[in-house]
Amino acid sequence: MEYYNPVKISLDVDLPNVVSSLFKNTGQKLIFCSKRFSRTQSFSELRSGIGECEVFSDIETNPSVKSLELALGFAKDYSPESIIAIGGGSVIDTAKVARYACYGNTFDIRGLLGDPVKKDLSKKPLFAAVPTTHGSGSELTMWATVWDKTSGKKYSISDPENYPDFAIYDFSLFSSLPVQVTFASTLDAFSHSFEALWNKNSNPISDHFATEGIKLILNNIGKIGQSVGEGVRKELVLASMYAGLAFSNTKTAAAHSISYPLTLRYNIPHGIACSMPLFPLLKINNTAIKNKLSKIFSCSDVKDINGIEQKVKSAIKGMIPYSISEYGVTRDELPALVDGSFTKERMANNIVELSVNDVLSVFETIF
Ligand SMILES: [Fe+2]
């Protein structure tokens, strides 16, 4: 077996200090962040620490082809030596695509989605990914998700050169996350962990990280409320990091595949869409991962798969709509959703081969 992840992790650090020591003496710098972050004190401190830099903040949630065209139009005018992305998965993915364009010499998004680019690694900027949500794990993976909202397709730009050089976790950046984002992020990390566990590409190292992620989430999800204690938040960030380390080597599987049309067609937040199918999939995959699950049951107060479902659902009750009908899906649309959920490179990773009827039954359960 092999496990590979080249990202250097800085955990529990002060972002302006770390970024300043890493990038102060590099040439042209680009920062990608949300508009909200660009108005914060942390951002001002960061800028004064690294000196001159260019900032792009026109970033869409679940970045579309159109929004990435804007980001590439911005990046095209520079020859950056370093790129710093501060934000959730959408911000980090946008910056990842811009960096890929820089060393692929292709600033046309359709070009990047097509045949492999001709890489000139001398133009590859140093890249620091600084998450401000604890779900996507994008700071630890080599791919970026592109949502084509016109054709209703989801793409992944994936390249071994696309791993960030640095993942920087500053706990203070997560403290003001709204409760809905906290749940959606946590559930995304929960899904990444299970998808790594029941994955055909799993190995003992990815299993270890996935198990740690699941245990931390099970022990903390019931403590999420309108405010989240510092200790709980730190454990949720750690859970997301472990989940990222796990699925960076396995990729995702059936739950994510099923979630894509739900997000593209009904705008269901990604973390919600990819976690709802976990519970019916747990029943399908249960036997194949029995030994792995027993390690989770031995270290948490959850003793069986029904307990996992109850734990999550009682934590989010009254906070988040958690059935697809509440997001506008009608029963007659389920066959079309089944059709749209078979993204080959993800569904095929599931440890149990899933038929059309299996997937239909998953949709019926989360309806
Ligand atoms: Fe995800």
- The per-residue pLDDT for range 239-286, each reduced to its tens digit, is 999 999 999 999 999 999 999 999 999 999 999 999 999 999 999 999
What are the residue ranges of CATH 1.20.1090.10 in the chain? 178-366
**332 Cα–ligand 1 center, Å:** 26
**185 Cα–ligand 1 center, Å:** 9
> What pLDDT does residue 344 have?
75
**270 Cα–ligand 1 center, Å:** 6
Tracing tokens 């949500």 back to the chain, one arrives at 133
Amino acid, single-letter form, for residue 26: T
**346 Cα–ligand 1 center, Å:** 12
**77 Cα–ligand 1 center, Å:** 31
**52 Cα–ligand 1 center, Å:** 34
Q: Count other Cβ atoms within 10 Å, centred on residue 42.
A: 18
**90 Cα–ligand 1 center, Å:** 11
Residue 293 pLDDT grade (very low, low, confident, very high; cuts 50, 70, 90): very high
Q: For residue 81, what is the DSSP state? A: S
Please list, residue by residue across 182-217, b when 16 or more beta carbons sit within 10 angstroms of its beta carbon and e when fewer do.
bbbbbbbbbbbbbbbbbbeebeebbbebbbbbbbbb
**308 Cα–ligand 1 center, Å:** 19
**348 Cα–ligand 1 center, Å:** 16
**139 Cα–ligand 1 center, Å:** 12
- Residue 308 — φ and ψ, nearest 5°? -65, -50
Residue 49 pLDDT grade (very low, low, confident, very high; cuts 50, 70, 90): confident
**48 Cα–ligand 1 center, Å:** 33
**45 Cα–ligand 1 center, Å:** 31
**47 Cα–ligand 1 center, Å:** 30
Tokens of 191: 């899904």
Query: What is the mean pLDDT of the segment spanning 295-321?
Result: 94
Q: Are strands 82-87 and 29-33 parallel, antiparallel or unpaired?
A: parallel
Mean pLDDT, rounded, of the chain: 95
**103 Cα–ligand 1 center, Å:** 26
> What pLDDT does residue 156 have?
92
Which run of H or E residues covers position 244? helix 230-250
**244 Cα–ligand 1 center, Å:** 10
CATH fold of 8-172, please?
Rossmann fold (3.40.50)
Query: d(Cα 287, Cα 297) in Å, to the nearest integer?
Result: 15
> What pLDDT does residue 51 have?
87
**51 Cα–ligand 1 center, Å:** 34
> What pLDDT does residue 80 have?
96
> Is a pLDDT exceeding 90 seen at residue 299?
no
> What pLDDT does residue 150 have?
86
Tell me the percentage of the chain whose pLDDT exceeds 90: 91
**257 Cα–ligand 1 center, Å:** 10
**226 Cα–ligand 1 center, Å:** 23
What are the residue ranges of CATH 3.40.50.1970 in the chain? 8-172
Question: Could you read off the pLDDT of 317-364 as tens digits, one per residue?
Answer: 999 999 999 999 999 999 999 999 998 789 999 999 999 999 999 999
Tell me the percentage of the chain whose pLDDT exceeds 70: 100
> Is a pLDDT exceeding 80 seen at residue 220?
yes
Question: Could you read off the pLDDT of 135-184 as tens digits, one per residue?
Answer: 999 999 999 999 998 888 889 999 999 999 999 999 999 998 999 999 99
> What pLDDT does residue 38 have?
93
* CA distances to 113, 228, 366 from 189, in Å: 26, 17, 19
Query: What is the mean pLDDT of the segment spanning 42-65?
Result: 92
> Is a pLDDT exceeding 80 seen at residue 34?
yes
On whether the CB atoms of residues 335 and 364 are closer than 8 A, the answer is no
CATH fold of 178-366, please?
Dehydroquinate synthase-like, alpha domain (1.20.1090)
> What pLDDT does residue 222 have?
96
**189 Cα–ligand 1 center, Å:** 7
How far apart, in Å, do the first and last CA atoms of the chain sit?
Answer: 39
List Cβ neighbours of 59 (8 Å cut-off, separation of 6 or more): 32, 33, 34, 67, 71, 87, 90, 91, 94
Q: For residue 271, what is the DSSP state? A: H
Query: What is the mean pLDDT of the segment spanning 200-214?
Result: 98
- Residue 134 — φ and ψ, nearest 5°? -115, 65
> Is a pLDDT exceeding 90 seen at residue 115?
no
**107 Cα–ligand 1 center, Å:** 26
